Structure 1
Amino acid sequence: MIKFRNHIGTIGISTGYLRQLISDTAESCFGVAGLNAYGAKQGVSAMLKKENTTKGVIIRQDGDELIVDLHITVNYGINVGAIVDSIIHKVNYVLTEQAGVNVKSVNVYVDEMKG
């Protein structure tokens, strides 16, 4: 649970909801082939579960702002810089508009390319 304070009080948002929202947003961007499991916890989870739709999404909280790390696979032949810029802009917009949270940064790591 991630908690934010505003002028009305404290708001709690499930990390599962935020991970799914970020995952769906990133995967809908042109040129993204998928998300990659990152770290020991996600790696073991990916091996044990057949379908993990939020793998590759790491969320950290810094005060009332979120820091998002995404580990992705891109399609070969696509401009990687344009894909990364598109993901950063879209994830930032969706989190701000749909979830109402402030985003400090969105970090996108391209782990591999699919041909």
Structure 2
Amino acid sequence: MKGSSMNTHMGNITIDKEVIAQYAGTVAMECFGIVGMGITVKDVVKLLRKDNLAKGITVTINNNKLTLDFHVIVSYGVSILAVSDNLIDNVKYKVEEFTGMEIEKINIFVEGVRVID
């Protein structure tokens, strides 16, 4: 399955993983200390086709629960722990509110550090 499906009294709702990844990417870029998204091997092919906010994010759905993997670039001089805590809190709240699905786990992989002018 490419996404998640929920049954409601009005019918079925299906959310594609790419939609969840794009929304999570937008939320991540709003977080203090995050200056960019890293590139996973899977994203190299996507980047050749188009640039989007889902790069650096992998969404896994298991029993209607989400696991999100973020590959991020952080700002030089900030606490990686503080940035990670902020990212987890914001993404968990906003993505759960947006999708109606529970986030089981958020993994953060710091791929680089960038000096901001």
TM-aligned CA deviation for residue 49 of structure 1: 4.0
Paired position in structure 2 for 1:19: 21
Percentage identity across aligned positions?
Answer: 28
State the alpha-carbon separation in 1 of the partners of residues 6 and 53 from structure 2: 29
CA deviation profile, 1:30-76 (whole Å, cap 9, x unmatched)? 1111001112x212322x24623210010011111010000000010
Structure 1 residue matching 2:98: 3-state secondary structure = helix
Q: How well do the aligned residues superpose, as a CA RMSD in angstroms?
A: 1.7
> Which moved further from structure 2: 19-28 or 3-12?
3-12
Paired position in structure 2 for 1:99: 99
- Length-normalised TM-score, structure 2: 0.86
Kept in 2, the 8 Å contact 1:76–1:113? The answer is yes
- Number of aligned pairs? 113
Paired position in structure 2 for 1:57: 57
Kept in 1, the 8 Å contact 2:22–2:54? The answer is yes
Structure 1 residue matching 2:53: 3-state secondary structure = coil
CA deviation profile, 1:81-109 (whole Å, cap 9, x unmatched)? 00001111111101111221111011111
Tell me if 1:31 matches 2:33.
Answer: yes
State the alpha-carbon separation in 2 of the partners of residues 65 and 78 from structure 1: 31
- State the one-letter code of the partner of 2:111: D
Structure 2 residue matching 1:30: 3-state secondary structure = coil
- Length-normalised TM-score, structure 1: 0.88
Paired position in structure 2 for 1:42: 43
Q: After the TM superposition, which segments of 4 or more aligned residues of structure 1 sit over 6 Å from their partners? A: none
State the alpha-carbon separation in 2 of the partners of residues 18 and 50 from structure 1: 17
TM-aligned CA deviation for residue 4 of structure 1: 3.7
State the alpha-carbon separation in 1 of the partners of residues 30 and 4 from structure 2: 27
